Amino acid sequence: MNDLRPIRAKSGTNQEGTSAHNRRVMIDALRLNGQLSRADLARATALTKQTVSNIIEDLERDGLVQSLTAVRNGRGQPSTPYRLVAEGAFAIGLQIDRHATRTIAVDLVGTVLARAEANLPAGGPATGVKTILDLIEKTRRDLASIAPQSEQRLVGLGAAMPGPFGVEVDGDDPWMMAAWQNFPLLETLAAGTGLDVALQNDSAAAATAERLVGAAHGVDQAICIYLGYGLGAGLILNGELYRGANGNAGEIGMILSRPRGAAEHERTPLEYRASIASLCKLLELDPADPELYARIDAAVAGEDIRLPGWLDAAVYELRAVVQALETVFDPQTVILCGGLPPGLARLIVDAMQPLLASLADRRDRSLPRLQVGFTDPWAVAIGAAAEPISRTFDPRFSAILKTRSADAS
């Protein structure tokens, strides 16, 4: 291995009682860099060579890491590279949307192995839960047929749905999933699957997907603007997904903004003008139509005369959003992603140029201020599946703080 090449990794700690954190740091380094020798790992993570060797042996024993053929560099001793074992862990992701539900299975490195989708029946969770549990079971069976050891190595179920969570919801508001918001979803899924379950909003799930296998891979500070039926943002700060006090961080679609020419009392949520729902309303499209992407693509390609008006309003809002997010969070990049066709995403990003001046407009940038990320209907499901992987294996600075606090007391 080349000891001079740059390696992306978080630092471990040689303090006692932090072995679990150091394991996560090592797994994260291998995920980011593909394969590394013990010397590479020690240099990148600031851990002692003995600590690295002990952890590597543990990870090999647990079936999470494997050694590769030794490599000789120069006249020194050959070094043995290590990499993650993709089959070392698996996770299931679930997306619950207003009109459909999707499930997906991934391995430790984020490779999609199985997927399934179904329309959600009318009646909310009273009828939809069975559809969802049946879909999860089908995905587990499909995964087991590909990877027979998967049931013993399933680390959890990640669920994602539109937020915000824990707020008063008007049952007639088409932007909210009122019945699902008030339903004991986590308890029902855990009881029905026997898996550990966590819930996040769809924009956070999209950001998780970008962080694991997308445009935010290896980026510690990134904002992912999720444009789907609604509008939200996933905040990746210091390499971790920031959720906020109630899991509602990044609900930018709820920002009350005033359209150009409107009076002060006419402020409405930003997603009323910048979302797939608002586009569908303008183009008279059904958001539940399985051919929705194709119809939107046709409108873009055919230069539908109604499209420029929507694009102008959406771009007006989104340029201001990007400038505000850059000013508040100082990210390395902003990523536009979500449930929209890639052609529309590129059209929006191109129309947003030039971006408004901000603190992010620097000469020494290594990443673009704004770029396109995942743009397909499965982005949220992929992120939902990535969440249990992240929850189980990613290093968290808070873990060190808790250890140090306990030692100090």
> CATH number of the domain that 335 lies in?
3.30.420.40
Residue 407 pLDDT more than 60? no
More confident call, 68 vs 18 = 68
> Are 55 and 137 contained in the same domain?
no
> Are 7 and 61 contained in the same domain?
yes
59 touches 22 (CB < 8 A):
no
pLDDT score at 337: 94
| Amino acid at the residue 378 | W
pLDDT score at 400: 39
Residue 175 pLDDT more than 80? no
User: d(Cα 59, Cα 28) in Å, to the nearest integer?
Assistant: 13
Q: Residue 85: which pLDDT band, with cuts at 50, 70 and 90? A: very high
Long-range contacts of 295-299 (CB under 8 A, 24+ apart): 296/340, 296/341, 296/344, 297/341, 297/343, 297/344
Does the residue 114 lie in any domain?
A: yes
Does the residue 409 lie in any domain?
A: no
Over residues 88-110, the pLDDT tens digits come to 999 999 999 888 899 999 999 98
Over residues 133-169, the pLDDT tens digits come to 999 999 999 999 999 999 999 999 999 998 888 777 6
> Are 364 and 238 contained in the same domain?
yes
* Chain-centre distance for alpha carbon 159: 12
More confident call, 408 vs 127 = 127
* Chain-centre distance for alpha carbon 254: 20
> Are 223 and 344 contained in the same domain?
yes
Strands 197-201 and 154-161 turn out to be parallel
> Are 259 and 231 contained in the same domain?
yes
Does the residue 399 lie in any domain?
A: no
* pLDDT mean over 347-371: 95
Does the residue 402 lie in any domain?
A: no
User: What is the count of structural domains for the chain?
Assistant: 3
> Are 251 and 174 contained in the same domain?
no
Does the residue 212 lie in any domain?
A: no
**Nearest residue to 153 (alpha-carbon basis) of 288, 221, 62, 215:** 62
Over residues 253-312, the pLDDT tens digits come to 999 988 877 777 788 999 999 999 999 999 999 988 888 889 998 998 888 899 999 999
Does the residue 23 lie in any domain?
A: yes
Of the listed ranges 19-23, 171-175, 180-184, the one predicted with least confidence:
171-175
> Are 389 and 332 contained in the same domain?
no
Of the listed ranges 72-81, 188-197, 202-211, the one predicted with least confidence:
72-81
Long-range contacts of 250-255 (CB under 8 A, 24+ apart): 250/201, 250/203, 250/204, 250/207, 251/163, 251/164, 251/201, 251/203, 252/225, 252/321, 252/325, 253/175, 254/164, 255/321
Give Cβ neighbours of residue 73 (< 8 Å, ≥ 6 apart). 1, 2, 3, 79
pLDDT score at 17: 46
> CATH number of the domain that 12 lies in?
1.10.10.10
Over residues 361-398, the pLDDT tens digits come to 998 999 999 999 998 888 899 999 988 998 888 765 44
> Are 222 and 343 contained in the same domain?
yes
Other beta carbons within 10 angstroms of residue 332's beta carbon come to 17
SS3 of residue 111 by DSSP: coil
Concatenating the DSSP letter of every residue in 54-73 gives: HHHHHHHHTTSEEE---B--
Residue 10 pLDDT more than 70? no
Domain closes at, from 62, 84, 106: 84
> Are 245 and 325 contained in the same domain?
yes
SS3 of residue 391 by DSSP: helix
Of the listed ranges 36-50, 72-86, 278-292, the one predicted with least confidence:
72-86
> Are 341 and 326 contained in the same domain?
yes
pLDDT score at 122: 82
Residue 12 pLDDT more than 70? no
Give helix 38-45 / helix 49-61 axis angle, nearest 10°: 120
Does the residue 213 lie in any domain?
A: no
Domain closes at, from 34, 66, 84: 84
Does the residue 400 lie in any domain?
A: no
Q: Residue 14: which pLDDT band, with cuts at 50, 70 and 90? A: low
Over residues 320-340, the pLDDT tens digits come to 999 999 999 999 999 999 888
> Are 59 and 153 contained in the same domain?
no
* pLDDT mean over 75-98: 90
Domain closes at, from 69, 84, 99: 84
Over residues 202-217, the pLDDT tens digits come to 999 999 889 888 899 8
The boundaries of the domain holding residue 56 are 1-84
Percent of the chain with pLDDT strictly greater than 70? 89
> Are 358 and 255 contained in the same domain?
yes
Helical H segments across 168-275, by residue range: 178-181, 185-193, 202-213
pLDDT score at 399: 43
216 touches 335 (CB < 8 A):
yes
